[in-house]
Structure 1
Amino acid sequence: MKWDLKELRGHVKRLFGEEQLRTVNQCLRTIGDRRELSRYHFNEAKDRMEGALQGRETFELTAALLGAFDTDDRQFSAARFQAYAHTVACIQNMHAVVDNMVHFAYYVLGANLDPATRIEKERDITWSKVSKKLIAGPIKVGLSALLDDPGFTYLAALSNHSKHRSIVEVSYSVNFESDAVEHGLRFNPFTYDGVTYPTKWVRSTLIDEYQRQEGLILTIGNAVNNELRDRS
């Protein structure tokens, strides 16, 4: 699926003018940057760990974890911390892009220009308030799906716990209990807002949520194009 941004910008300029288009362009740039930053930090985390393991065989993973193959002091530990730092940055960007989508919807539909839908304080442009200003339809459904999903609920809890209380630890683990040996970074268990979240593998958790967001962002974007195209 593609999203025709040239068409979108044409509709915004036609309906709302140059100043509104500048605001919408800022939203679009940020959404694109957040996606690129998420991908960049994810790949950097993966590369740091792959470099530290140096293609070791399965039976060597525990020894590598203990630093048996380090060529200098704390080589594996340093790589793990770098991967941890990139993972935290990836989480923050994947969490923030959903807020950016809410702001995008608010401005691209011209809600700030209509007294009936305007939200006076910028800090109040949140999903709980914006959702009340949107008419029922594909845009509202898409945004609801973006936020109301177990994958995003976990990501939001992970990000908010790390932001407000303490960063959820990311450890390197080797699991010999499954048929195929699993190894990689894992989020440690944590409790947020009364809910306990289990240990999860970083790679599969972030890939699944990234791909889910990608599809919904394109769906919402095309729904916006359709909505604006039909406006006189």
Structure 2
Amino acid sequence: MTEVEFLQSYDPAAFPRVAVAVDVVLLSVVEGKLVALLQNREEQPAKGKWALPGGFVREGEGLDDAATRVLAAKAHLERVWLEQLYTFGAPDRDPRMRVVTVAYFALLPERVAREAVEANDGLMLAETDALPPLAFDHADILTTAIARLRGKLDYVPLVFALLPRKFTLRELQHAHEAILGKTFAKPAFRRRMLDQGWIAPTGEFETGTPYRPAELYRRKPGTAPDKD
């Protein structure tokens, strides 16, 4: 039998139906806390529960395109750097049918995260160590994303996606402390960041502060996701 003949006689209905979805973990640091952007579900199942922004992949649509579309439709976010996280496919993870979801995660500066919530009544920022009950297996997805972020923090410069283009070493330290859930000695932390070679001074200083202005730094080109 040739491949053409095989495909002509192939019956997809002979196999169990499986739907594919995408869910996106959106993390930010707000007031020194690691937070997740959550959406209140307006429809069953799990109506009224908080969940990660997500949706089904459309016919003929790629996974990355689906994740980008979901972010634009449900959080009004565009040009967000996304990383594919993990695939979750427990048979009973969705009561409607067998649904396999491909999870993504993204990091948002505080300003962007706040603006997303202000523009959408059904969104909120929740501290990751004080989450409400989440729909489906979204708590597991979120836990996996946080573990991925923590595991990559020292060797992949993801943290800069949480910061403005110009930032102080204080802001950089607070972001690390929020992600890892621990504090660092200021001199040792700053020395390690400078030795890492990811940042450079701008020669500028912060303004509008009641204390001595701190110098502003920037990430070096090529050391962080470029979709600011």
TM-score normalized by the length of structure 2: 0.27
Structure number with higher strand proportion: 2
TM-score normalized by the length of structure 1: 0.27
